[in-house]
Structure 1
Amino acid sequence: MGSRKDSAGADDGSGRHHSEVAFRVNGAPHTLTVDNRSVLLDVLREQLDLTGAKKGCDHGQCGACTVLVDGRRVNSCLLPAVAQDGRDITTVEGLADGDGLHPLQRAFLERDAFQCGYCTPGQICSAIGAVAEAEAGHPSHVTDPEAPSGRPVPLGPDEIRERLSGNLCRCGAYPNIVRAVEDVIR
């Protein structure tokens, strides 16, 4: 007969392993018991009913599941939920300020930077992370090697395209996505 152990990840006798995890999602604290094998995307969608982040490829290749963890963009389909204990997670649902859309959400609407909309939440979260990375001076593959280190990286169309290259849009709305990001950084 299996032994019953604490919720810190040990066997509960059923052959399943669970842990308690506490994090903030869109500013609200949550303490959940999660299967140790669950990824953050599944916990957000299935336990918290936050369905903005989408399950696309489930392999970290499409970016539809992009959220912000401690301000950095991540593919939530690859992150074990238990490893997010103590973190601050922002999904597309947490970007608006009451009824006021985040500037990037508004720009996506104004520029018609989506078609089917499936990738849009991940695109927006990724763009927010990309802008923050550039402001912090993190270079990309296309950043001029002569650019001073640690200073904000100017975001022209090539920089934006490179930084968002991990987020796929099957509808091909890329030109308007780039324009929407340009509108916000001006």
Structure 2
Amino acid sequence: LGANVILFICVNLLGLLSFFFYEKRQRRAFLETCQSLEVKLVLEDESQEQERLLLSVLPKHVAAEIRQDLGAVVTGQFKKIYMSRHENVSILFADIVGFTAISSTCPAPELVRTLNELFARFDKLAEKYHQLRIKILGDCYYCISGAPEERPDHAVLCVHMGLSMVEAI
């Protein structure tokens, strides 16, 4: 009888230890899964932010070409230049007259906010008139019509864009 009791206690202790270690492994696996999902979500957010930033400085077709070439093995000394030839395009350069005088009297944060709001309006107009913003340099806004997609009405759209920009200011 005494041996049976000792055996019973040992088997139960072994079962408890086994359950304890199993439970501990399960909890660790759960925590690691949660952490991995959290990291995945953060990476997805960062990837979207990176994509947004990339598209804020590069046209979609150029960004897509660069993304496609990222994994490619580079042979040769020079980096690839991403350019293409476009016929029949219209380019619009918009410069704010008197910007230097305005910038000397306006505080820097307010000036940056104002330019940001103005260029955001220009970007919306560019979308409406099928323009592609190619550059912002200081107070100068550069956009093009007729590229990357050719349009027979590129010049008319560019004029409408310019007139709308004057109204937006």
TM bucket (normalised to shorter chain) is under 0.3
Structure number with higher strand proportion: 1
Which structure exhibits the higher relative contact order, with contacts defined as CA atoms closer than 8 Å and separated by 6 or more residues?
2
* Larger-gyration structure (1/2): 2
TM-score by length of 1: 0.25
Q: Give the TM-score of the pair, scaled to structure 2.
A: 0.27
